[in-house]
């Protein structure tokens, strides 16, 4: 492990997150708190600060945030990009450049090659399930629309929403286990 490189990568993550949050806030104001992307990036921001302050002695938070960021990256690339205007818009435009692309990739690279590793793969899965079920429940009540189309149970119906939940759980499980095994 190269802790100096990890510290530099985590400093870069913190700086990129600040830039991304400024752009996100300008775009959606306080609604940032309902997006998985924003939550995962905020956790990455905190995890990187914690990593820097503790000199990398507790890898759990970095692993947790890295898994969530990779979920953001993959869903943005393969689900949201085709639906919302393509890769240029969803992966490279505005705050998306930071939150969908740069931070997830830097985070993964640093975690895999420069940092200590954690093996608590179930934590990102449970967090993602809780988030998804909460969003579906709020959509069901009519308190929220989205923030992603696959949570819109009133429009999609129970069957389609259930299938999306299963697919998303499989994806975050594969990400969590994959990062754990690759880092292994």
What distance in Å separates the CA atoms of residue 39 and residue 165, rounded to the nearest whole number?
18
pLDDT of residue 85: 87
pLDDT of residue 30: 66
The answer to whether the CB of 153 falls within 8 A of the CB of 99 is: no
What distance in Å separates the CA atoms of residue 97 and residue 29, rounded to the nearest whole number?
18
Helix, strand or coil for residue 133? helix
Nearest to 115 by CA among 52, 175, 72, 39: 52
The answer to whether the CB of 64 falls within 8 A of the CB of 55 is: no
Q: Which two tokens stand for residue 63?
A: 């692993």
What distance in Å separates the CA atoms of residue 31 and residue 22, rounded to the nearest whole number?
13
Q: Which two tokens stand for residue 12?
A: 């870069």
pLDDT of residue 37: 93
pLDDT truncated to tens, each residue of the chain (184 aa)?
788 999 999 999 999 999 999 998 887 776 778 899 999 999 999 999 999 999 998 899 999 999 999 999 999 999 999 998 899 999 999 999 999 999 999 999 999 999 999 989 999 999 999 999 999 999 999 999 999 999 999 999 999 999 999 999 999 999 999 999 999 8
The answer to whether the CB of 183 falls within 8 A of the CB of 113 is: no
């Amino acid at each position: 492990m190269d802790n100096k490189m990890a510290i530099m990568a985590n400093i870069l993550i913190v700086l990129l997150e600040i830039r991304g949050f400024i752009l996100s806030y300008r775009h959606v104001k306080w609604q940032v708190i309902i997006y998985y992307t924003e939550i995962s990036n905020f956790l990455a921001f905190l995890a990187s600060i914690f990593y820097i302050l503790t000199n990398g002695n507790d890898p759990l938070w970095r692993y947790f945030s890295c898994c969530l960021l990779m979920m953001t990256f993959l869903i943005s690339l393969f689900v949201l990009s085709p639906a919302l205007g393509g890769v240029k818009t969803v992966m490279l435009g505005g705050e998306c450049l930071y939150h969908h692309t740069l931070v997830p990739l830097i985070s993964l690279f640093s975690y895999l090659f420069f940092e200590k590793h954690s093996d608590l793969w179930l934590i990102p899965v449970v967090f993602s399930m809780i988030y998804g079920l909460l969003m579906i429940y709020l959509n069901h009540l009519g308190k929220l629309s989205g923030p992603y189309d696959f949570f819109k149970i009133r429009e999609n119906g129970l069957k389609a929403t259930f299938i999306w939940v299963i697919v998303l759980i499989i994806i975050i499980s594969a990400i969590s286990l994959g990062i754990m095994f690759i880092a292994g």
